[in-house]
A and B are shown apart, each in its own frame.
Chain A
Amino acid sequence: MELLIDGLKKAIEMIFSGDREVFAITWLTLKVCLISILISTLIGLPLGILLGLTRFKGRRLFLLFINIGMGLPPVVAGLWITMLLWRSGPLGDLTLLYSPTAIVMAQILVSLPIVTSLTCTAFQQISDKMLLQIKALGATKIQTLVILIKQLKIAIFAAVMAGFGRVIAEVGAAMMVGGNIQGDTRILTTTIVMEVSKGNFDIALALSFILLSVALLITAVLTFLQQRKRIS
């Protein structure tokens, strides 16, 4: 209990003392996570809609891979991205390994299947009769999509929140592809792991409170948007 209180005190102290490194780490964490989830949503939402509303050859197999991807171990994702970006790898010339971009790539790899699969599940539950009714109301294809997205807003935000939960908690892949380089690729989760390994539990605990606050803040905003204008 004493350790917890010390950690909380340390967190408050670190925030209010204006520790530049803590701010830099927190800012990078926020930036990397938001960019990852934004890209995952921009790809995962249309992909999920396509998988949920249409039928094509190989759809089930594709969906199977997406669902397997939901349980993709971060170290495996990290390994793949590392191999992809390794000097002799296919994208080695881009020299992106050990950069924030590499962390973003790894985080997209772990969150994209979640956003896609949960979006697909939501859209698959739309009955043929509902689609028929919307068509009969005189909707164009684009208008139909807009109506469905609005109707499934809660499920879509839940998919985004689940994806965000995965990226904010991610540490294995970020460590592997980012390298936890001070002032460059150090994010909150990788710093916590490092501080624990050094035995600095108070700093690790303080950083964990900051990480929780960031997660809470983003999730609160998403929940607000999800639940907005719900009429009873």
Chain B
Amino acid sequence: MNPLIELKDITFKAHTKTILDIPEFQIYDGEFLGIMGPNGAGKSTLLKLAAFLEQPTSGDILYRGEIIPNGNAPLDLRRMFSIALQQSLLLDGTVFHNIAIGLTLRKVSKSIIKEKVAHWMELFGISHLAKKNALYLSGGEAQRVNLARAMIVEPEVLFLDEPFSALDFPTKIKLMEDFKGIIETAQTTAVFVSHDLMEINYLTNRLAIIVNGEVKQSGPTPQVLEHPNASTQSFLNEWKKFYPALTGSRFPSSNLKSVEKVSLR
């Protein structure tokens, strides 16, 4: 299977400090890829590089097998991707205006914009907020607008940088449930950065663990979580200690799906 986006021999340095050092990394069509790691591991940087929003210090980024010189993607390519960040970063204007902005920037006709915004607002359950100023929404509402804004352009890859982390637990669960349904229906390739095991376990089907700027392990999510290697064990074990607090039982190391059922359903 050919990767959609591929990173080869990538390094990213800030001043003299190496933030990322990745010999190879792939994003495949149709997958929901999780990128997990402790704070400062380089998760968000990796996401920005893969979304062509930052340029690497060295190495190549390929899109469908073709090298994008300096990782500097032309506008048309950049517009095939979408990103939703942790802070919703909505603009001062109505919810309608915020969701429509990606299409407006692409000069889509007003009638199509109206139709599409109505459709995505309905999917995310925010139709009633259309005329409200986006800056006065609750955290959960703002994230719904943020995700609808990212999805409306029907991206080839949706990049998500901890979009649920600032939400309270019940709001997070409801939104994640809705979002999972939406993304499965739309069959969008997604790359999801998080440091939350529950979010990763619930949403993703492949997982890469990144520590100190290096991808230490990757593979199908249940496999990585159940069989961490020597490099990822200490990080994942910290989560495993914490997990019973959410589920009311010991962390079921052999069957993470049961955690999903208890905590999310």
Contact A136 B81 (CB under 8 A): yes
Is the CB of A232 closer than 8 A to any CB of chain B?
A: yes
State whether A129 and B102 are in contact (beta carbons under 8 Å apart), knowing that A231-B93, A231-B94, A231-B132 are contacts in the complex.
no
Q: For the A-B complex with A137-B102, A138-B75, A230-B133 known, give 12 more contacts whose Cβ atoms are closer than 8 Å.
A: A129-B85, A129-B89, A132-B48, A132-B83, A132-B85, A136-B53, A136-B81, A138-B78, A138-B79, A143-B105, A147-B91, A150-B91
Contact B91 A132 (CB under 8 A): no
Contact A232 B91 (CB under 8 A): no
Is the CB of A130 closer than 8 A to any CB of chain B?
A: yes
Q: Quick one: which of A108-148 are within 8 Å of B by CB? A: 129-130, 132-133, 135-140, 143, 147
Residues from chain A with Cβ under 8 Å of B82 in the complex: 136-137
Residues from chain B with Cβ under 8 Å of A143 in the complex: 105
State whether A137 and B101 are in contact (beta carbons under 8 Å apart), knowing that A129-B87, A132-B48 are contacts in the complex.
yes
A151 and B89 alpha carbons, distance in the complex (Å): 12
> What are some 26 contacts across the A-B interface (CB < 8 A)?
A132-B53, A132-B83, A133-B83, A135-B53, A135-B78, A136-B51, A136-B78, A136-B81, A136-B83, A136-B159, A137-B105, A137-B149, A138-B78, A138-B79, A138-B105, A138-B153, A140-B105, A143-B105, A147-B101, A150-B91, A150-B92, A151-B92, A230-B133, A231-B131, A231-B132, A231-B133
A231 and B159 alpha carbons, distance in the complex (Å): 30
Contact with A along B73-111 (1 / 0, CB 8 A): 001001101110101010111100000011001100000
- A-side residues, CB < 8 A to B, are 129-130, 132-133, 135-140, 143, 147, 150-151, 230-232
Work out how many contacts link A and B, with CB atoms closer than 8 A.
Answer: 50
Residues from chain B with Cβ under 8 Å of A132 in the complex: 48, 53, 83, 85
Max count, chain B CB within 10 A of own CB: residue among A130, A138, A232: A138
Is the CB of B242 closer than 8 A to any CB of chain A?
A: no
Contact with A along B128-146 (1 / 0, CB 8 A): 0001110010000000000
A230 and B93 alpha carbons, distance in the complex (Å): 8
Instruction: Determine which of A129, A135, A138, A232 lies in contact with B106 in the assembled complex, contact meaning CB atoms within 8 Å.
Output: A138
Q: How far is the CB of A148 from chain B (nearest CB, A)?
A: 10
Q: How far is the CB of A22 from chain B (nearest CB, A)?
A: 43
Residues from chain A with Cβ under 8 Å of B136 in the complex: 232
Residues from chain B with Cβ under 8 Å of A137 in the complex: 82, 101-102, 105, 149
Residue of B with least CB distance to A136: B83
Max count, chain B CB within 10 A of own CB: residue among A133, A139, A140, A143: A133
A133 and B83 alpha carbons, distance in the complex (Å): 7
Residue of B with least CB distance to A146: B105
Q: How far is the CB of B233 from chain A (nearest CB, A)?
A: 32
Residue of B with least CB distance to A229: B93
Residue of A with least CB distance to B78: A138
Q: How far is the CB of B68 from chain A (nearest CB, A)?
A: 16
A143 and B53 alpha carbons, distance in the complex (Å): 16
A132 and B92 alpha carbons, distance in the complex (Å): 17
A143 and B153 alpha carbons, distance in the complex (Å): 17
Instruction: Determine which of A136, A140, A231, A232 lies in contact with B75 in the assembled complex, contact meaning CB atoms within 8 Å.
Output: A140
A127 and B102 alpha carbons, distance in the complex (Å): 20
A94 and B204 alpha carbons, distance in the complex (Å): 73
Q: How far is the CB of B96 from chain A (nearest CB, A)?
A: 10
A136 and B191 alpha carbons, distance in the complex (Å): 14
Q: How far is the CB of A85 from chain B (nearest CB, A)?
A: 44
Residues from chain B with Cβ under 8 Å of A133 in the complex: 83, 85, 89
State whether A138 and B102 are in contact (beta carbons under 8 Å apart), knowing that A129-B87, A147-B91, A231-B132 are contacts in the complex.
yes
Residues from chain A with Cβ under 8 Å of B153 in the complex: 138
Residue of B with least CB distance to A144: B105
Contact B91 A151 (CB under 8 A): yes
A131 and B81 alpha carbons, distance in the complex (Å): 16
Q: How far is the CB of B4 from chain A (nearest CB, A)?
A: 17
A135 and B82 alpha carbons, distance in the complex (Å): 10
Residues from chain B with Cβ under 8 Å of A138 in the complex: 75, 78-79, 102, 105-106, 153
